[in-house]
Amino acid sequence: MNPGALSYVLVSVFGVGAVVSGWLVFRTDSMLRAAYWLMVSFVAVGAMLVVLDAQFLGLILILMMSGEMTIMAIFMIMFMMNPAGLNPMVMVHQNRTAIAAGVGSFLVLAWVGLVAEFPDRPAPIDDPTAELGEELLGRSMLVFESAGVALLAVMIGAIALAAKRGRFGDADAGSVEPAIDIESSVDPAVEAVADADHADDADDHGAGHGMGHGT
Amino acid sequence: MTVLGVVVQVAAVLIGGAYLLAVADRLAGGGSANVLAALAHPIERASFLLLQPVTTTERPDLPAWILAPSLLAGLAAVGAVPVPIGGPSAAGDISAGLVLFGAAMLIVLVAVFIFGWAPNSAMPMIGGYRFAAMVLSIGIPFSLVVLTTAIPAESLSVGVIVESQSNLWYIVVQPLGFVIYLVTAAAIAFWGPFDLPEGADLAGGIAAEAAGPRLAMWRLAQAALMVTLSLMGAAVFLGGYHGPVLPGWGWTLLKTALVLLVLASTGRTIARMRVQRLVWFGWVVLLPLALVDVFVSGWIAL
């Protein structure tokens, strides 16, 4: 098998893998499984890029997504009423809008894929990573330097936030729960509204279950 | 070298290194100074675990629980592939090898988190969250100091980085980077003072519910991860295969063993930090030091 045919097969395998794991994101019943299926999907896309000679881009995509998905999973679990992420829950909501958006974006992307003119005679490249470096720090230097300085500022800001003594004590002391007297200062009317909100949430959740099972 | 050759080479180095680590840890603090007993200890322990019945929990995510140790071992192997062991022109050397290593080391977070999450049990899950907090705090300094070695070499290929150290090892130029590398590497392998995810205060943490072959695989994978981190440290800071008299692979293995033993010695000698303090330490101490290291080596390279 010549290298061209092999990379064709590999790209197809990883492409199918990316689509299937992307589909599984919506078929699981847990936030954490969904997040990690999404990561598998991104890893497959990164592997496609590596096969297509964009090693650096593919690997950096995998590197970024692996850390990011865990952060995302932790935040999703924090915001859901599901402390460990292991209990089953419905993962699809607003089905009609989602179907319309999905079909619409697929059609637009497919149209772009059919209409756009792709280069059919690739230029010979010795070292794709070096070529990418030339591109990033040559023509596009201003853009990437600005992004780099912004990221550096973010890192310094994170250091400043982490080092600072906060409202609830030293940064290294861990989080402390807010004082209990917040409860007693809540206005009864506000409390009633909050209760009503909770009831609405419960209704929504029930409806979501029904729709999820129905489709 | 063929692809099969690279696979065999990586497997041999990782398993040999894992054995060395287990023996060294036993000698360092296992209550026995008997070398022969220490040499037999890893085999005894592995036999015991492989014959031990597997326990389970209530409604675990069984596929994830079984596969997580293999994922960790696979990541250790992937991270070791771009390191040239015998000399230049290794088959595993790719132009973005350092990024491959970095990606594999960050996915360790996923493997450990899943291993803690899958048993559906409180202590392992808390251990997994602890590891996430740890790695997200020390991951940036780790990546920065690893990537800093690419600045003077002007390449992300590990082969080129090692080759450019023929006159001067990078530990001489970046001693700070090497120290940060050792600290963060031990944390990524949740070893020694950084074994908080498996802490005794969590009744064993991520491994609390694991037993039998699954635990044996997990221990092997953790040790293999330590070997991979030592191998990369020896390659990018200690000049890899460069050295007099001995053949290239001899120097690589010697330096790797040295880094591995330094890391192993921390297991029984350095006190643990609370996880909150460790997170603070990562952001407030290690990250600024890593940035200083980047600026200094960039300045030297210019």
pLDDT in tens, B241-253: 887 877 878 888 8
Per-residue pLDDT reduced to its tens digit, B211-233? 888 899 999 999 999 999 999 99
Judging contacts by C-beta atoms under 8 Å, the chain B residues touching residue A67 are 106, 109, 135-136, 139
CB atoms under 10 Å from CB of A165, counted, come to 10
Instruction: Find chain A residues with C-beta within 8 A of B102's C-beta.
Output: 63
pLDDT at A20: 95
How far apart (Å, rounded) are the C-alpha atoms in residues B51 and B281? 41
ipTM of the complex: 0.83
Which residue from A minimizes the CA distance to B124?
A: A84
pLDDT confidence of residue B115? 92
Q: Do residues B164 and B88 make contact, with C-beta atoms less than 8 angstroms apart?
A: no
Per-residue pLDDT, A166: 59
pLDDT in tens, B1-10: 577 878 888 8
Residues of B in contact with A171 (CB under 8 A): 280, 284
**Nearest chain B residue (CA) to A165:** B280
Q: Is the pLDDT of residue A214 over 60?
A: no
What's the pLDDT at A201? Answer: 46
Q: B280 touching A, CB under 8 A?
A: yes
Higher-pLDDT residue of B275, A204: B275
Per DSSP, which regions of chain B are E strands? none
Instruction: Pick A119 or B31 by higher pLDDT.
Output: A119
The interface residues of chain B toward chain A in range 10-49, judged by CB-CB distance below 8 A, are: none
List, for residues B129-169, the tens digit of each pLDDT value. Answer: 889 889 988 988 999 999 888 888 888 888 888 888 888 88
pLDDT tier, A204 (very low <50, low <70, confident <90, very high otherwise): very low
In chain A, residues 36-75 whose CB comes closer than 8 Å to chain B = 36, 39, 55-56, 59-60, 62-63, 66-67, 69-71, 74
> Contacts of residue B287 in chain A, CB cutoff 8 Å?
155, 158-159
The better pLDDT of the pair B35, B45 is held by: B45
Percent of chain B with pLDDT over 90: 21
> A131 to chain B: which residues are within 8 Å by CB?
none
How many domains, in total, are found in chain B?
A: 1
Confidence at residue B154, expressed as pLDDT on a 0 to 100 scale: 80
Q: Which residue of chain A is at minimal alpha-carbon distance from B290?
A: A155
Going by C-alpha positions, the residue among A46, A84, A78, A85 that lies closest to residue A65 is: A46
Under a CB-based contact definition with an 8 Å cutoff, are residues B98 and B164 in contact? no
State how far the Cα of A61 lies from the Cα of A69, in Å rounded to an integer: 12
Q: Determine the pLDDT at residue A73.
A: 80
- Which domain covers residue B71, as residue numbers? 3-301
Out of B94, B113, B284, the one facing A70 most closely (by C-beta) is: B113
Q: What is the pLDDT of residue B224?
A: 93
d(C-alpha A117, C-alpha B177), whole Å: 47
**What are the two backbone dihedrals, phi and then psi, of residue A52, each rounded to the nearest 5 degrees?**
-85, 20
Contact B139 A70 (CB under 8 A): no
CA distance, residue A155 to nearest chain B CA (Å): 8
Q: Distances in Å between the alpha carbon of A47 and those of A53, A54, A107, A109, A119?
A: 10, 9, 25, 21, 21
| Contact status of B296 with chain A (Cβ, < 8 Å) | no
B284 closest CB neighbour out of A32, A130, A163: A163
Q: What is the mean pLDDT of chain B?
A: 86
Task: Of A122-126, A177-181, B157-161, B241-245, give the lowest mean pLDDT range.
Answer: A177-181
pTM score: 0.81
Q: State what percent of residues in chain A have pLDDT above 70.
A: 67
- Judged by a CB distance cut-off of 8 A, whether residue B227 touches chain A is no
**Domains along chain A with CATH numbers:** 1-126 (1.20.120.1200)
A174 pLDDT above the threshold of 60? no
pLDDT of residue A203: 44
